[in-house]
């Protein structure tokens, strides 16, 4: 109180004792439990009064420790799930790889040749098919002697296909749609118009050894008997340098000298250039040709009695000195390590696929896989199914599939190729079996590769000598690769929808485009396109199909059949494919793991979809494929390990809907 108030005798001041006040409201011990229960909005004094009672204090402590215990259990459970969970599949394992040959995919500017903007216009097609990975064949600046595989400038886009801005726009839009771009990379050689070659042939000290040069006779430029992939000597005389340079392909494609560290550095810089642009991976072209023996000795003839002057094709020699030389895998592993630097960003793994066809020496192809200790390729391309047309039968198909599966290193991921820009389309070479082949590709374990147009069953075109564009066919039309490179058939409109402004396309459109095109097949639920799309979506959604066991079940002269199943999951799939010339009835009654009655989930003969069949009498027409889904607690792989394969074993726990290592 103020001094004036205290000194005023007319005002009486009463002293308030807080301790007495508190004591006056404190209840007696006998009255405590007769009070009202705690209530909302109670003052702090009342709350403290009740909270100190045993019945409330114990409850609080029980709840606290229960919360702690639950938290620890959840943490332990999370750690356990993470530790036991199998590795997640990467983007390149989740869908087929779709190959675009850019000259033939979509023309946006009316010049009759496909381009990058044309690809951009058709990105909806990949989302419609549920395709995630797109490999685009070369679009670097090039004189086009080998349609882009002769590169004049690795850091520029050929004007025929667009500009660097067009490329960046395409890549950005692809990433917005969660699509991945795989670039074709050609390390073995350049164009003879490349700046490096011009400096090398003129004797520039830095570039002098960028290519493989040797002394030779100008009148007979053959330092040895080595031959080109395209035929005749792989040596050409250069009038400027007065020496011969080596080329395993066209004379306009001189081989780089990878024993020169400056060349290795140049190629490494190019890899970084495109990775910094944001590309998601590379298809390394013709890698087995990168090194050649330094001694330059003659290669051994396949037929020792053949006169040396008649050695003109690659098939005349054993290529012990010109392919798969020491140092090749070290170089590829260096490139893999550089790519991995860019893979550290979550969700941005950089993919590496190797292109090397080693024919009967499949063990050489398998060396391109990574090992547990050293990373190299994610997989080498499997070209053995390209031999399907040689003998369409169940035995032959199984042989080609097993050739890869039985030689592949344990735990690796397979892949399958049935067509590309160098080989005849399956729609022509094995026309009756296109649907069955697509079913096989999308139900086998691993990653399938789809060459543009295979999803609609496109066929080769017929060309005359005056229509030949491919240098390989200039002197022999039968060797031309043009027939499988015809424009993509989008619609039944002008130029099959490939080019809406041009009267002339770079190659003729196939005359069947009125009925074989994307637009028409989208409207038909039994079309090749509809079945391809359904199979691809099913593959992604069904665990047994994209990461389950693969087991051979039955093979005969006509039928190739296998199972896809996953431990812990009752749902499994039986695939029956007829590669014979006539209808067949397959008896699988000896397979105890199959139920007696089966239901056809999908048939390539649309009328047979949904039918019920007995496992002792599974009928298929010639060229028909059946996808049968069934439920069973019995697992085929447990009793037939020698017939089964899995990349990474996993089991399904239905109670928690998770996969775990087992």
| pLDDT tens column, 27-43 | 454 444 445 576 777 78
> What percent of the chain clears pLDDT 70, i.e. is strictly above it?
94
Q: Is the pLDDT of residue 24 over 50?
A: no
Spatial distance between the Cα atoms of 530 and 455, rounded to a whole number of angstroms? 9
Checking 545-549 for CB contacts under 8 A at 24+ apart, the result is 545/443, 545/573, 546/89, 546/93, 546/94, 547/86, 547/89, 547/445, 547/646, 547/647, 547/648, 547/650, 548/445, 548/572, 548/646, 549/635, 549/636, 549/637, 549/644, 549/645, 549/646
- The whole-number pLDDT of residue 36 equals 57
Q: Is the pLDDT of residue 19 over 50?
A: no
Q: What is the mean pLDDT of residues 384-403?
A: 96
- The DSSP code sequence of 250-313 is -TTSPBB-TTSHHHHHHHHHHHHHHHHHT--EEEETTGGGS---TT-PPPPBSSTTS-GGG--S
CA distances for 128 relative to 94, 290, 532, 534, angstroms = 15, 39, 11, 10
CA distances for 476 relative to 147, 316, 429, 464, 635, angstroms = 18, 19, 20, 11, 54
- The whole-number pLDDT of residue 415 equals 97
Q: Is 590 left (phi over 0), alpha (psi -120 to 50) or beta?
A: alpha
Q: What is the mean pLDDT of residues 54-69?
A: 84
- The whole-number pLDDT of residue 660 equals 87
CA-wise closest residue to 258 among 190, 188, 192: 188
Structure tokens at 447: 């990653």
Task: Name the 3-class secondary structure at 608.
Answer: helix
- The whole-number pLDDT of residue 86 equals 84
Please give the distance of CA 362 from its chain centroid, rounded to a whole number.
Answer: 21
pLDDT bucket at 49, cuts 50 / 70 / 90: confident
355 as an active site residue: the answer is yes
**pTM to 2 decimals?**
0.89
366's CB contacts (< 8 A; 6+ apart) are: 380, 407, 408, 409
- Beta-strand (E) ranges in 453-547? none
pLDDT bucket at 21, cuts 50 / 70 / 90: very low
Spatial distance between the Cα atoms of 270 and 290, rounded to a whole number of angstroms? 16
Q: Is the pLDDT of residue 401 over 70?
A: yes
- The whole-number pLDDT of residue 45 equals 75
Low-confidence winner among 46-50, 72-76, 239-243, 637-641 (lowest mean pLDDT): 46-50
Q: Which one is catalytic: 255, 355, 482, 567?
A: 355
Structure-model confidence comparison of residues 372 and 180, the more confident one: 180
Q: Which sign does the torsion angle of CA 40, 44, 48, 50 carry?
A: negative
- The whole-number pLDDT of residue 35 equals 53
342-367 core/surface letters (b: 16 or more CB in 10 A; e: else): bbeeeeebbbbbbbbbbeeebebbbb
Q: What is the mean pLDDT of residues 87-112?
A: 95
Task: Name the 3-class secondary structure at 380.
Answer: strand
- The whole-number pLDDT of residue 23 equals 47
The continuous run of DSSP H or E covering 185 comes out as: strand 180-185
Q: Which one is catalytic: 146, 150, 285, 593?
A: 285
CA distances for 100 relative to 161, 393, 420, 450, 579, angstroms = 13, 30, 9, 9, 28
For residue range 566-620, list pLDDT tens digits in order.
999 999 999 999 999 999 999 999 999 999 999 999 999 999 999 999 999 999 9
pLDDT bucket at 3, cuts 50 / 70 / 90: very low
Low-confidence winner among 207-216, 274-283, 476-485, 628-637 (lowest mean pLDDT): 476-485
Spatial distance between the Cα atoms of 468 and 479, rounded to a whole number of angstroms? 10
Q: What is the mean pLDDT of the chain?
A: 92
Q: What is the mean pLDDT of residues 501-519?
A: 94
Decide the pairing of beta strands 447-451 and 415-417. parallel
- The whole-number pLDDT of residue 46 equals 75
Q: What is the mean pLDDT of residues 129-141?
A: 97
Which residue's structure tokens are 């500009």? 163
pLDDT bucket at 79, cuts 50 / 70 / 90: confident
- Beta-strand (E) ranges in 356-501? 379-380, 415-417, 447-451
Task: Name the 3-class secondary structure at 76.
Answer: helix
Structure-model confidence comparison of residues 344 and 39, the more confident one: 344
CA-based angle 629:633:638, to the nearest 5? 100
- The whole-number pLDDT of residue 370 equals 94
- The whole-number pLDDT of residue 18 equals 44
Spatial distance between the Cα atoms of 422 and 429, rounded to a whole number of angstroms? 13
């Amino acid at each position: 109180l103020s001094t004036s108030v205290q000194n005023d005798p007319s005002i009486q001041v009463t002293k308030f004792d807080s301790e007495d006040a508190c004591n006056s409201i404190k209840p007696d011990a006998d009255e405590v439990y007769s009070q009202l229960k705690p209530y909302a909005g109670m003052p702090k004094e009342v709350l403290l009064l009740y909270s100190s009672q045993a019945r409330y204090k114990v409850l609080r402590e029980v709840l606290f420790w229960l919360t702690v215990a639950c938290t620890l259990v959840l943490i332990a459970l999370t750690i356990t799930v993470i530790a036991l969970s199998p590795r997640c599949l990467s983007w390149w394992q989740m869908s087929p790889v779709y190959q675009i040959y850019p000259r033939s995919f979509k023309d946006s500017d009316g010049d009759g040749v496909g381009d990058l903007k044309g690809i951009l216009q058709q990105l909806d097609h990949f989302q419609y098919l549920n395709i995630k990975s797109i490999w685009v064949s070369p679009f670097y600046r090039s004189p086009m002697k080998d349609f882009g595989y002769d590169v004049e400038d690795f850091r520029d886009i050929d004007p025929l296909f667009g500009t660097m801005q067009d490329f960046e726009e395409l890549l950005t839009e692809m990433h917005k749609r969660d699509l991945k771009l795989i670039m074709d990379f050609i390390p073995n050689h350049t164009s003879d118009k490349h700046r490096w070659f011009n400096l090398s042939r003129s004797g520039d000290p830095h570039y002098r050894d960028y290519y493989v040069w040797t002394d030779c006779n100008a009148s007979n430029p053959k330092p040895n008997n080595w031959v080109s992939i395209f035929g005749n000597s792989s040596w050409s005389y250069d009038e400027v340098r007065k020496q011969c340079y080596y080329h395993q392909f066209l004379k306009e494609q001189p081989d780089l000298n990878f024993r020169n560290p400056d060349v290795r550095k140049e190629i490494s810089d190019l890899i970084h250039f495109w990775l910094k642009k944001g590309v998601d991976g590379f298809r390394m072209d013709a890698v087995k040709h990168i090194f050649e023996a330094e001694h330059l000795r003659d290669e051994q003839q396949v037929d020792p009695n053949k006169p040396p002057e008649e050695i003109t094709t690659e098939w005349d020699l054993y290529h012990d000195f010109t392919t798969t030389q020491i140092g090749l895998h070290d170089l590829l592993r260096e490139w893999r390590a550089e790519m991995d630097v860019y893979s550290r960003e979550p969700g941005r793994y950089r993919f590496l696929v190797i292109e090397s066809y080693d024919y009967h020496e499949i063990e050489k192809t398998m060396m391109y896989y990574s090992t547990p200790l050293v990373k190299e390729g994610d997989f080498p391309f499997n070209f053995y199914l390209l031999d399907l047309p040689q003998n369409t039968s169940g035995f032959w198909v199984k042989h080609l599939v097993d050739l890869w599966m039985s030689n592949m290193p344990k735990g690796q991921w397979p892949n399958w190729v049935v067509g590309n820009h160098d080989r005849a389309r399956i729609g022509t070479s094995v026309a009756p079996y296109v649907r069955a082949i697509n079913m096989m590709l999308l139900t086998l374990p691993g990653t399938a590769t789809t060459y543009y147009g295979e999803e609609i069953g496109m066929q080769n075109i017929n060309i005359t000598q005056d229509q030949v564009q491919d240098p390989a066919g200039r002197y022999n039309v039968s060797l031309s690769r043009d027939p499988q490179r015809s424009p993509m058939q989008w619609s039944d409109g002008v130029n099959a929808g490939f080019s809406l402004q041009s009267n002339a396309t770079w190659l003729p459109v196939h005359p069947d485009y009125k009925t074989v095109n994307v637009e028409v097949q989208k409207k038909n639920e039994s079309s090749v396109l509809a079945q391809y799309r359904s199979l691809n979506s099913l593959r992604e959604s069904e665990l047994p199909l994209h990461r389950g066991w693969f087991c051979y079940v039955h093979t005969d002269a006509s039928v190739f059949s296998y199972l896809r199943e996953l431990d812990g999951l009752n749902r499994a799939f039986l695939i029956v494919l007829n590669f014979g010339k006539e209808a067949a009835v397959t008896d699988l009654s000896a397979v105890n793991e199959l139920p007696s009655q089966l239901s056809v989930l999908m048939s390539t003969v649309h009328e047979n979809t949904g039918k019920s069949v007995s496992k002792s009498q599974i009928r298929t027409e010639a060229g028909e494929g059946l996808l049968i889904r069934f439920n069973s607690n019995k697992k085929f792989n447990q009793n037939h390990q020698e017939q089964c394969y899995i990349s990474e074993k996993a089991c399904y726990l239905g109670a928690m809907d998770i996969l775990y290592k087992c």
